[in-house]
A and B are shown apart, each in its own frame.
Chain A
Amino acid sequence: MRLLSQTAKTQLRHGSVLLEVVLALVLFVAAATIVTAGMNASVAAVERLRRDTHTLNLALSLMAELQMNSRPLEPAGPEPFEAPFEDWMWRIDVSALESAAVEADALKKVEVVVWHTTENSNQRVAQLFRSNDVAPARDGSGTSTNYFSPLP
C-alpha cells in the first residue's frame, strides 16, 4: 500500500512537470504568434502606405496630364497604366455640375479615379473645367474643343 502510494506520487509529479512543459510551449507559441502578427501588420502597413502613395501619384499625374493637354479631356477608361504601374487602373469621368448657379452652368466636373486591381487602394481627384473645354461625353452632352483650360 505504501509502495503504491509512492508510485502514484511519482506519476503525479511527472504529470505536473509535463503539464508545465506543455504550458511553457503554449505560452512560447502564443508569444511568437503575437510578435509575428505584429510584424506582419507592420509590413502590411508599410506596403499599404507605399501602395497608397503610388495611387495618389498616379491620380495627380493623370490630372496634371489633363491640365497639360497631353491627354484628351474626355471621358475615358477604365484602362490599366503602363509598366511598371500595370497593377493600377484609371478612369476619367466628366459630369455636369449640380449647382444651379448661372455661372456654374458652364462648368463641368472632371474626376480622375485610380484604383489598384487587387488591393484596396483607390484615389479620386476632381477639378472643374469649363464646358466648352470638355469633349462630348458618352451620353452626348458637352461640346468639343481641342484645348483645355483650368479655372482661374
Chain B
Amino acid sequence: MTLRKASLRRAFTLVEVILSIIIILGILAVVLYFYQQAADVRKKALDETEYVTTARMFLEQLSIELHTAQTVESQFIGLEGSSNWIAFVTTSLPQTTRWIIRTNEPAVTVPNTDLKRVEYTLPYSTNLTELTALVRSERLLGVASLVETNLVTSTNEPASEPPTFVTSESTEPATNVVHVASGPVLTDRIQYLQFRYWNGTDWTDSWNSLSLPRGVEVSLGPAPMTFGETNEYPHQVFRRVIHLPRSSHPGNEVFDSAVEEALF
C-alpha cells in the first residue's frame, strides 16, 4: 500500500495526461488560428497599401503629364484614346547632352525636342483568370534627320530645312483600330482602367482629334471588370478628373484675348 501511494505521487495519471494533451492541442489550435488570421490581415494590409500607393502615384504622374499635354498641329498629332488606353504628346526636360558644345564642331547642334508621346494601355483580357498589366510607353518626338546625323556620322552640317517631327503612331480613328499594348509594364496592381473625355458638353468614351479634350476622367480598380447583368464596376474605384489647360475651347479664346489684353 505504501509503495502504491509512492508510485501515485511520482507519475501523472492517464486522465491528467489526456487532459493536458487536450489543453495543449486547444492552445495550439487557438495560437495557429490567431497566427493565420494575423498573417492574412497583414497580407491584405500590404496589398491594399501597395495598391493605394500605386494608384496615387499613377494618378499624380498622369495628372502632371496631362497638364502639359499639347498638340503638334504640323504633324497632325493630337490626343487619341479609348476607354482603356490614351496617347498624347506632352513635354519634358530635354536631355542635357544635346547642349554640349564640342570644340571641333562648326555649329552648335540643335537641342533635342522636349516633346514626347506618352501612351498608357491596359489591354483587355478575354480570360478572366488571367491578369493584365498596365503598360506605359513613351517616345521622343525627335528631329529625325538631325538626330541621326549627329549620332551616326557627325558631319555637323547645319540644317538647311526646318526640323520636322516624326512619329509612327497611327492616325486612324480610335474606334476602328484594335489597340495593341507595347512598352514596359508599369504595374500589375491596377487591373481596371477606364478613360472618359469631356468634349465641352458630354463625356465620351473615345477621343481622336487634333484638339485636346477639356478634361479626362480616369478610373482605376484592383480587379478586372466582369461583364455581368449590370455594367457597374463591383469593386472600389479610384476616380479623378484631370483638366487639360491647353485644350481648345470657346472659353479659352476669351481667356487668351484677356491675357493678350492684360499683357499688351
Contacts and interface: CB of A to CB of B under 8 A. Distances in A.
Q: Is the interface of A mostly helix, strand, loop or mixed?
A: helix
Contact of B239 (A57, A63, A130, A148): A57
B239 A61 contact: yes
A53 interface: yes
B240 A61 contact: yes
A69 B251 contact: yes
A138 interface: no
Interface residues of A, number: 30
Interface string A75-95: 000000000110000000000
Contacts of A147: 250-251, 254-255
Interface stretch (B40-48, B92-100, B106-114, B119-127): B40-48
Contacts of A43: 41, 44-45
A28 B28 CA distance: 12
Q: Is the interface of B mostly helix, strand, loop or mixed?
A: helix
A47 to B, nearest CB: 8
A122 interface: no
A147 B45 CA distance: 45
B52 A46 contact: yes
A65 B241 contact: yes
B198 interface: yes
Interface in B171-211: 198, 200
A152 B258 CA distance: 10
Given A49-B52, A65-B215, A68-B198, A39 B38 contact: yes
Contact of B52 (A53, A61, A63, A65): A53
Contacts of A9: none
Contacts of A54: 238
Contact of A149 (B239, B240, B258): B258
B97 to A, nearest CB: 32
A34 to B, nearest CB: 11
A84 B214 contact: no
Interface string B42-79: 10110011001101100100010000000000000000
Interface of A: 28, 32, 35, 39, 42-43, 45-46, 49-50, 53-54, 57, 60-61, 63-65, 67-70, 84-85, 130, 147-150, 152
12 contacts: A42-B42, A43-B44, A43-B45, A46-B49, A46-B52, A50-B48, A60-B240, A65-B241, A68-B215, A147-B255, A149-B255, A149-B258
Interface of B: 27, 34, 38, 41-42, 44-45, 48-49, 52-53, 55-56, 59, 63, 198, 200, 214-215, 217, 236-243, 245, 249-252, 254-255, 258-259
The 5 closest A-B pairs by CB, nearest first: A149-B255, A61-B241, A64-B243, A67-B243, A68-B215
